């Protein structure tokens, strides 16, 4: 057998790696610096709110400020993470650089006054918009710009959570349901790693979660985790649908956008009074840590956090969804530990990752993130729960601009390039009896629904 080697191919690969090492490193540094500034600002805002509890009663004013900023300065970037996905799928003019300062300022305002939101969305948007600016500076073509944008998103995620491997996978997995972009593998890895290192170099440290009790694996234990994963999937589904539902409700009842978060702030004050606690405001990190303790948390904690966060984000406040999803997953897992007869810390860790997997449609990134945060002994439980939650959550999610490349089951035939947003609107018009049919056809070009078609292939 003849041996064939073409040095020209390795030379081309070397040029490719050198180019993307340089570009992805720049995106990583930019994303890491931005994430560090954001996390330091977020800690300052949270400490200020805790030091001056009366600030919470001004949350309607904070909401009005957020609404006005986006109404007058940020209409073209208000879609947030979904705008990043749309730009990669269908390149236009790139992401405006002003997305970074706007999302930074408005997320800090949200947390300063007590809105229930996260931090991932902010870091990813900053990383993406800065990477898009670099792509314009170096005059990259649309495909290369998309790769650098993905790298910037990875940098933001890896830096804000201190999970560089999960950041890499998140950038590859987020775009589409059931598909990875391997052409961006190296750039996303480099950007996420550099972003995390940059953030650490600037003095930002991440929280540590202790999982001390891990039972010996057996089929009965795996069955319990699999059963719990159904609850995690339903919680993720509830989180996304309630958030989208509040967005729809506020848009119908309040035509002028800046007033929506103002009204949302009023309802947050009332909801806090009814709950009788402020544990569900802000990131909710103390409750997350408590979920890992033997004492556990109130069984209704996960549901209240879903309600607080859905109202906050659905009314127009800015921030991420992921840390609240961590809260929901950890507290739900802790609550399920008693009836399942499993350790609190183990179930809190598994739920932490699995609810995120179901809501974001990123089972691989969620699994890797769980391993980075909680250690490899939990790997099989994390993988089982994340993958199962991903499937059970169905074709829904918090990122409506995700495209469905590989459906999660064969109960429905979904044309290529269908987004979660289009599918969600289409399914709302299909009766339950029709959806239970063997095949459900959903046209990706408009809102027509093709009902069961006996044996005909779409």
In which residue are the tokens 């990583």 written? 28
CA 364 to chain centre: 13
* Chain segment 51-74, per-residue pLDDT in tens: 999 999 999 999 999 999 999 999
Name the pTM for this structure: 0.91
- The fold for domain 13-201 equals Clc chloride channel (1.10.3080)
User: Would 13-201 and 219-392 be classified into the same CATH topology?
Assistant: yes
Q: Could you tell me the end-to-end alpha-carbon distance of the chain, in angstroms, rounded to an integer? A: 45
Asked if the model's pLDDT at residue 298 lies above 70, the reply is yes
Distance CA 238, CA 251 (A): 20
Q: What pLDDT does 367 receive?
A: 98
User: Which CATH number is associated with domain 219-392?
Assistant: 1.10.3080.10
pLDDT tier at 444, thresholds 50, 70, 90: very low
Asked if the model's pLDDT at residue 451 lies above 90, the reply is no
Q: What pLDDT does 92 receive?
A: 86
Instruction: Please state the φ and ψ torsions of residue 47, each to the nearest 5 degrees.
Output: -60, -40
Domain boundaries, given as residue ranges, for the chain: 13-201, 219-392, 410-450
- 312-330 average pLDDT score: 96
- 7-33 average pLDDT score: 93
CA 447 to chain centre: 27
Asked if the model's pLDDT at residue 438 lies above 70, the reply is no
Q: How far is CA 57 from CA 60, 64, 82, in A?
A: 8, 13, 31
Count other Cβ atoms within 10 Å, centred on residue 138: 14
Q: What pLDDT does 408 receive?
A: 87
In which residue are the tokens 């073409």 written? 6
Distance CA 176, CA 404 (A): 6
- 243-247 average pLDDT score: 96
pLDDT tier at 1, thresholds 50, 70, 90: low
Please state which of the ranges 76-80, 184-188, 349-353, 405-409 shows the lowest mean pLDDT.
405-409
Count other Cβ atoms within 10 Å, centred on residue 144: 18
In order, the DSSP letters of 375-418 are -GGGHHHHHHHHHHHHHHT-S--S-TT-EESS-SSSSSB--TTE
Q: Which two tokens stand for residue 306?
A: 């879903």
Count other Cβ atoms within 10 Å, centred on residue 114: 28
Distance CA 11, CA 204 (A): 39
Dihedral angle of Cα 30, 35, 40, 41, to the nearest 10 degrees: 100
Asked if the model's pLDDT at residue 432 lies above 50, the reply is no
Dihedral angle of Cα 12, 16, 17, 18, to the nearest 10 degrees: 100
Query: Looking at 268-412, which runs of residues are DSSP E strands?
Result: 403-404
Distance CA 265, CA 37 (A): 26
Q: What pLDDT does 4 receive?
A: 74
CA 44 to chain centre: 23
Q: How far is CA 349 from CA 83, 282, 378, in A?
A: 31, 20, 9
- 299-322 average pLDDT score: 96
């Amino acid at each position: 057998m003849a041996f064939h080697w073409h040095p020209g191919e390795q030379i081309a690969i070397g040029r490719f790696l050198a180019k993307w090492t340089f570009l992805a490193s720049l995106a990583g540094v930019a994303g890491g610096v931005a994430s560090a500034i954001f996390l330091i600002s977020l800690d300052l805002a949270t400490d200020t709110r805790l030091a001056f509890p009366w600030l919470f009663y001004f949350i309607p004013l904070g909401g009005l400020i957020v609404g006005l900023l986006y109404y007058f300065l940020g209409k073209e970037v208000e879609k947030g993470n979904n705008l990043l996905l749309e730009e990669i799928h269908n390149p236009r003019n790139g992401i405006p650089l002003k997305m970074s300062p706007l999302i930074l300022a408005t997320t800090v305002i949200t947390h300063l006054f007590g809105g229930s939101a996260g931090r991932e969305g902010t870091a990813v948007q900053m990383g993406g918009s800065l990477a898009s600016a670099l792509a314009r500076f170096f005059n990259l073509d649309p495909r290369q710009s998309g790769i650098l944008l993905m790298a910037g998103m990875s940098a933001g995620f890896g830096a804000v959570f201190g999970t560089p491997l999960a950041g890499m996978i998140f950038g590859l997995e987020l775009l589409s349901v059931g598909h990875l972009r391997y052409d961006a593998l190296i750039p996303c890895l480099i950007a996420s790693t550099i972003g995390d290192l940059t953030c650490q170099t600037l003095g930002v440290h991440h929280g540590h979660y202790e999982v001390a009790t891990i039972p010996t694996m057996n089929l009965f234990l795996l069955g319990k985790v699999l059963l719990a994963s159904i609850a995690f999937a339903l919680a993720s589904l509830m989180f996304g649908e309630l958030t989208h539902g509040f967005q729809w409700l506020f848009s119908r009842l309040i035509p002028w956008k800046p007033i929506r978060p103002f009204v949302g702030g009023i309802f947050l004050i009332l909801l806090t009074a009814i709950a009788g606690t402020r544990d569900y405001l802000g990131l909710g990190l103390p409750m997350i840590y408590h979920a890992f303790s033997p004492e556990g948390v109130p069984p209704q904690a996960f549901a209240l956090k879903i309600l607080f966060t859905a109202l906050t984000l659905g009314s127009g406040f800015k921030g991420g969804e992921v840390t609240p999803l961590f809260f929901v997953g950890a507290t739900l897992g802790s609550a399920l530990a008693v009836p399942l007869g499993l350790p609190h810390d183990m179930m809190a860790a598994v739920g932490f990752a699995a609810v995120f997997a179901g809501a974001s449609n990123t089972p691989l990134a969620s699994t890797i993130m769980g391993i980075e945060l909680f250690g490899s002994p939990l790997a099989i439980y994390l993988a089982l729960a994340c993958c199962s939650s991903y499937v059970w959550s169905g074709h829904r999610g918090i990122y409506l601009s995700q495209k469905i490349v590989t459906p999660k089951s064969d109960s429905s035939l979904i044309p290529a390039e269908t987004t979660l947003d289009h599918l969600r609107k289409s399914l709302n018009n299909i009766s339950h009896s029709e959806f239970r049919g063997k095949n459900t056809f959903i046209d990706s070009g408009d809102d027509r629904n093709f009902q069961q078609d006996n044996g005909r292939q779409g």
